[in-house]
Amino acid sequence: MKEANLKFTKFNDWVWRTFPACKEIVKFITASMDGPLTLREWLVLKLHLYSCDSCVNFLKQVKFIRFTLEHSHDGLDPQNSDIRLSDEARSRLKQAMNKES
């Protein structure tokens, strides 16, 4: 994956000062996977994506993961189709996600 190439132009500087930071844009990106964004959220997301390669890379990664998960059942053989995370693994994931919030 290519590294972020942040271009310090007047437009980018204006976007970064005026609109939410990447941390908020990540929330918009993940929300867009669950349903449509409001017009304001969509516009803010698009403007931010024009100025931030890091968030573009994140969006590509999220789309790839979603596509892979949606099509992962095609590659499972019937005897392994019920593989799930253990309760301990679920608990560790929940704790890690709560720490970041």
List the pLDDT tens digit at each of the 101 positions of the chain.
344 456 667 877 787 788 888 899 999 999 998 899 999 999 999 988 888 888 899 999 999 988 888 877 666 566 655 667 788 988 898 888 888 66
* Alpha helices, DSSP H, located in the chain: 10-18, 22-34, 39-51, 53-71, 87-100
Determine the residue type at 37: L
Nearest alpha carbon to residue 16 among 28, 27, 8: 8
Answer whether 0.85 is exceeded by the pTM. Answer: no
Domain segments of the chain as ranges = 10-100
